[in-house]
Amino acid sequence: MEKQVVKVGLMGFGTVGTGVVRIIQAHQEDLQKQTGLGIEVKKILVQNAEKGRALSSMSSSLTTDPSELLDDPDIDVIVEVIGGISPAKEYILRALEAGKHVVTANKDLMALHGAEILNKAQENGCDVFYEASVAGGIPILRALVEGFSSDRITKMMGIVNGTTNYILSKMSQEGADYAEVLKEAQELGYAEADPTSDVEGFDAARKMAILATLGFHSPLKLEDVDVKGISSVSKEDIAYGKQLGYDVKLMGLARRDGEAIEVSVQPTMIPKSHPLASVNGVFNAVYVYGEAVGETMFYGPGAGEMPTATAVVSDLVTVVKNMKLGVNGRGTVAPYKEKILKDDSQKLSKYFLRIVVADKRGVLAQITHLLADKNISLEQVIQQPYNNGEQAELIMVTHSSSKRDMDDVIAYLEQMDIISEVKSCYRVEGGDRL
């Protein structure tokens, strides 16, 4: 007899897991019409089955034993929203070995072990979808896999962490200090009590590793991403950037030139005219450049119970449609290209520099001579009095140079007697060279 209802095992019943159940219950008629099958959450794995839940109607479905999901032949799909690496990885691999399809929102796991999981899915003819792992409710992964399947992606650039975007937006709009805005973000629940993963760029780096793996078909990992957070960004950096026509964003960048790839997350100056400059608050946006289609941008809420749960259920619907058509596993493509990473001499960008110098004749000439030795020219320069006029502050935007040359320049500047301090150095992106 043909299956009429797809049974789901849900791992995790926190914020996102609750949202998944709410959507499945509330949209049952729509889901039936879209897929031709009913969808039922049969079992929910939790740490404490006695804990009070927002959806008390599901209390009879709770279990603390993962085998009740993984070894149940009636359960067709495992939805994993518990997060972390272990035991989530072990559960997902067991599910795939048992022929169960997997939907996950686990960015940590997919950034570190995505290639292994996708290979296991291919071996067993199973679907693995993980749309919710990158940008909440924005369907960016499906766009990369399906919408760009006939194109060749050369660059992805985006704001993929709502916490840091909120902080930088508030600093820009109100001229406030980083520490002040971080405290406010924590009080509002936008930042964790320990905000390290967000503000030091690690959360965004995991997401960029996932995007780069999918977009470039190479097995990129977290360790391949150059990461710098926003804790050193000052309101002065933001103010000077505005004078020069830029906003500061924590920007994820994945770029491929030929077969060589670079992936980074760092505070970045982008022109005020660029679409990403207008993305404020906790919203996310990803800018994708394809050889054929040109420039596209995906924008929306990057986190929260319902946006993330919507992405999870959307993946679940795709699994169920594939079951109805008998094509599960055929769309799961593990990375198939060799990973070739750029070295620092191949990573090209403009740079924003802010330095404190002795206020005397010939200083700027010495600095420009040093830059010229590395074939770096200046596009914009501002000089401001500093320390009651005893020193000067130079704010410069360079023309394109390599990361290696700029690192050499910074190291040399820090040794020069005429330089009191190198305050900041940020990449400048989003201009003519996309």
Q: Which CATH number fits the domain that encloses residue 278?
A: 3.30.360.10
Structure tokens at 200: 């030091």
- Over the chain, what is the mean pLDDT? 92
For residue 2, what pLDDT band results from cuts at 50, 70 and 90? Answer: low
- Asked if 118 and 110 touch (Cβ cutoff 8 Å), the reply is no
Q: Residue 307 — very low, low, confident or very high, per pLDDT cuts 50/70/90?
A: confident
Instruction: Answer yes or no: is 363 within a domain.
Output: yes
The verdict on 148 and 292 lying in the same domain is yes
In the structure, what pLDDT confidence band is assigned to residue 147 with cuts at 50, 70 and 90?
confident
Give the alpha-carbon dihedral of 331, 303, 426, 389, to 10 degrees.
170
Q: Give me the residues paired with residue 268 across strands.
A: 249, 427
* 321 and 348, same domain (yes or no): no
DSSP state at residue 51: S
Q: Is residue 186 a contact partner of residue 286, using CB atoms and an 8 Å limit?
A: no
pLDDT at 434: 40
DSSP for residue 87: T
Same domain, 297 and 191: yes
Residue 433 inside a domain? The answer is: no
Contact between 79 and 103 under an 8 Å Cβ cutoff? The reply is yes
| Domain span holding position 377 | 344-428
Q: Summarize pLDDT for 291-300 with one digit per residue, the tens.
A: 999 999 999 8
DSSP string for 255-303: EEETTEEEEEEEEEEEETTSGGGG--TTEEEEEEEETTTEEEEEEEE--
Residue-wise pLDDT for 348-383, tens only, equals 999 999 999 998 888 989 999 999 999 999 999 999
Average pLDDT over residues 130-139: 81
The answer to which of 27-41, 137-151, 211-225, 403-417 has the lowest mean pLDDT is 137-151
Residue 160 falls inside a structural domain: yes
Residue 378 domain-assigned? Answer: yes
Q: Using omega within 30 degrees of 0 as the cis cutoff, is the peptide bond preceding 87 cis?
A: yes
Same domain, residue pair 258 and 234:
yes
Residue 274 within any structural domain of the chain = yes
Q: Check: CB of residue 309 under 8 Å from CB of residue 22.
A: yes
Q: Whole-angstrom Cα distance, residue 386 to residue 127?
A: 60
97 pLDDT tier (thresholds 50, 70, 90): very high
Three-class secondary structure of residue 6 per DSSP: strand
Does 293 lie in the same domain as 164? yes
Q: Number of C-alpha atoms within 13 angstroms, CB side, residue 171?
A: 31
Between the alpha carbon of residue 154 and those of residues 271, 347, 372, 414, the distances in Å are 20, 14, 30, 35
Dihedral pair phi/psi, residue 405, rounded to 5°: -65, -40
Model confidence over 255-290: pLDDT tens digits? 999 999 999 999 999 999 999 999 999 899 999 999
pTM over 0.85: yes
What residues act catalytically?
Answer: 207
Q: Is the per-residue pLDDT at 432 higher than 60?
A: no
